[in-house]
Amino acid sequence: MAITISKLQNLKEQGKKFATITAYDASFANIFDKAEVAAILIGDSLGMTIQGNSSTLQVTIEEVAYHTKCVNKGVENALIIADLPFMTYSNVQDACINAAKLMQAGANVVKLEGGSFLVDTVKTLTRNGVAVCGHLGLTPQSVNIFGGYKIQGREEEAAQQIFEDAIALQEAGACMIVLECIPRSLASKITKALRIPTIGIGAGKDTDGQILVMHDALGLTLGKTPKFAKNFLAQSSSVLEAIKLYKSEVEANIYPDDSQSFD
């Protein structure tokens, strides 16, 4: 059965965890769909995993739209989320034009990085029929502002800002929020405070859902493996079995464990 935003909302309300993953092509997307992940993200991580760049900043809207079309062809049931790349939503009009490109390529939801400054953008997109996923914490498009891929929200003021940003995105109409590389306790506090589902990556086990870059779930990471990554293929006989294992560990609240989370 096709996964909808309301289905994810119901899972949150029932306290049931869900697994999501990135994909960039029809073949992997089809395997992940068969493993019954709840959502597949065409992440701008494709700039690193597919294109071999050192950041996501070079990725264009045309490239995300192309990969979204590919993923869409492999998916029957999973919710499809596509990333708005760097500087494609720096004003409301650009956000609308570029979100339309992703929706027309087959996305069900678009994701954008940032907090309260995006309230008008999120309101306008949702009013125009575009479901929006927020992304807070370590937002890779701001790597140059952060001075590297560092854990965010460890200091009280920064944690409070992320918390307030999450509430602001929800009130603006966002339907879910990705929380990347923040302390488990902060992700837990945000998840409890929000009506909409949170999806964590390096944010501990208390978020409603988890997401992994597919390469990190299959032991294919280029360069340094992140602390939160787990190679599910190492214990499995196929990619399908590996992603089924990932899903079952997320649903049973086994993955991520404390060693795969930040304090």
Binding mask 128-147 for ligand KIV (x = CB under 6 A): -------x------------
Question: Is the CB of 13 or the CB of 87 nearer to ligand KIV?
Answer: 87
- Cis ω before 256 (30° cut-off from 0): yes
Distance from C-alpha of 151 to C-alpha of 149, rounded to nearest angstrom: 7
Q: Count residues contacting ligand KIV (CB under 6 A)?
A: 12
The answer to whether 186 and 198 are in contact (CB under 8 A) is no
Distance from C-alpha of 57 to C-alpha of 86, rounded to nearest angstrom: 6
Q: Is 40 in the site for ligand KIV (CB under 6 A)?
A: no
Strands (E), 23-108: 39-42, 79-83
Q: How far is the CB of 79 from ligand KIV (least distance, A)?
A: 14
Binding-site member from 102, 112, 176, 211 for ligand KIV (CB under 6 A)? 211
Task: Please identify the residue of the shown chain whose CB is closest to the bound ligand KIV.
Answer: 43
Distance from C-alpha of 88 to C-alpha of 99, rounded to nearest angstrom: 9
Which span (40-48, 71-79, 182-190, 224-232) binds ligand KIV, by CB under 6 A? 40-48
155 counts as catalytic: no
The residue among 177, 152, 181, 167 whose CA lies nearest residue 116 is 167
Q: Which residues pair with 81 in a beta bridge?
A: 41, 109
Binding-site member from 33, 63, 83, 165 for ligand KIV (CB under 6 A)? 83
Q: N- to C-terminal Cα distance for the chain?
A: 37
Binding mask 170-189 for ligand KIV (x = CB under 6 A): --------x-x---------
Binding-site member from 21, 24, 32, 43 for ligand KIV (CB under 6 A)? 43
Candidate list 180, 241, 249, 251, residue with the active-site label: 180
Cite the active site residues: 180
